[in-house]
Amino acid sequence: MAQSTAQKPPLLVAQSQPQPAVPQGQTFEEEIIPQRYADNPNVDAFINDMSARYDFDQAALHALFARVSYSATAVKLVTPSPSPSVKNWRVYQSRFLDQVRINAGVRFWRANQATLQRAYEEFGVPPEVIVGIIGVETIYGRFMGNFRVLDALTTLTFDYPNTANRADRQATFRKNLEDYLVWTRDSQIDPTTVLGSYTGAIGIPQFLPSSIVQYAVSYDGNKQIDLRTSEADAIGSVANYLRQNGWENGRPVVWKIGSDAGSLGVAQAAADGQPEPHWPLQQLLRAGLAMDEPGLDIASEAGTPVTVVDLPSPGRGTEYMLGLKNFYVLTRYNRSFFYALAVYQLGERVKAQMAASDAANGNHAAPPNAASQ
């Protein structure tokens, strides 16, 4: 990820009153421990490193970390449950494809129609995909998190719970803490004032600091990046993120497969959980998988790599789809098949509701970029 913001516009995170917490993860103010990171040898070593690599003033960083609080809530929320919940696609889908979110998506799209169209023309990412991501992430800015980002990132850098992937997760949070301190310094933002999720994600699109440094853009014309209050900056930044991660303009996200026993058997055997497309379509077809995509040119798509997306729901048969490169790109935003498909389907539902509303009102113009996904 990018280390320097020298070539980018100044970053600005507009501050506001704490946002309502997401329903599944509230902040409990009593679960913080102040001054845990003052005179902490691991933090002191980190400060020395930041001073050497980024020319930070050591005394200033010591004073800053003396004001940081340990967040027991952040640790609790990243700790895996001792009895993990059973994955349930239908429950997950219903949570993110509810009518409240769809209606909010229609309002967001209509309010930002010109910006979404401009992002499509510049980055090649359809409006419905951007609308889907922002809707799943924060319901269009409604729930952006009320954790102090500095507390969350520091806690998860130095006190990540003892899990199997602890070393990798600590390294990721350390990199985000580094980037957070650099861009708040360069942007003259008080790092103790920025609010976000319990993992340190910020603003309408929930960008982690390393993603802000690498992908965020100013898209509203004021040359300052503000992901908390500027819907235009959020739209442009999401579009740039997806393009930089390989989004293919005009290509599908998923393909449907047949519901016959043979197709489901092939899909089950090939569902290995790998998000990157790696099965040539023709290989699955030769094994007996049938497609349910009218108009699909099998001959021209025979060599197209796909991944099998498995969608288990207890009490019913597992559902399967084929994910293409653009599906994989959505998993770069959040590494979950459920997440990527919910984003895609929410965007499609919002687009369909807009089209239906326009038709009912006698306006037969399609939403911008009505290209099929």
| Positive/negative CA dihedral, 253, 140, 136, 367 | negative
Q: What angle do CA 173, 179, 184 make, to 5 degrees?
A: 125
Burial of residue 278 (number of CB atoms within 10 Å: 0-12, 13-18, 19+) = middle
* Distance in angstroms (rounded) separating the CA atoms of residues 183 and 185: 5
CA angle in degrees (0–180, nearest 5) for 214-189-166: 55
For 290-322, b/e burial (b = at least 16 CB within 10 A) is ebeeeeeeeeebeebbbbbbbbbbeeeeebbbb
- β-pair partners for 256: 321
Q: Hey, which residues are catalytic here?
A: 137
- Contact between 202 and 209 (Cβ < 8 Å): yes
Question: Within 13 Å of residue 330, how many CA atoms lie on the same side as its CB?
Answer: 31
Q: What is the 3-state secondary structure (H, E, C) of 244-307?
A: HCCCCCCCCCEEEECCCHHHHHHHHHHCCCCCCCCEEHHHHHHCCCCECCCCCCHHHHCCCEEE
The encoded tokens of residue 366 equal 């399609």
